[in-house]
Amino acid sequence: METIETLSLNDQEALLELLQKRLIEQRRKILMGEIAEVRQEYAQGQVRFGSVADFMAELDE
């Protein structure tokens, strides 16, 4: 933090922008992985559709 505080305001803003872009990219990669996993589960017939009531009723069986 001390090192960052020695930077000019413009440089601090540029660093912040860079970090925000990296975080966005990391979140995007995680989301893409989750999407790929769900698509694979769907293709294998492991995804079910229904209402909360449907799932609760199934748990009671």
Confidence of residue 50 (pLDDT cuts 50, 70, 90): confident
pLDDT of 18? 98
**CA atoms 52, 56, 57, 61: torsion sign:** positive
3-state secondary structure 1-61: CHHHHCCCHHHHHHHHHHHHHHHHHHHHHHHHHHHHHHHHHHHCCCCCCCCHHHHHHHHHC
Average pLDDT over residues 37-51: 91
Are 43 and 52 a contacting pair, CB within 8 Å? no
Mean pLDDT confidence for 20-31 = 99
Whole-structure pTM value = 0.66
Give the pLDDT of residue 49.
83
| Mean pLDDT, residues 36-52 taken together | 92
- Asked if residues 15 and 7 have their Cβ atoms less than 8 Å apart, the reply is yes
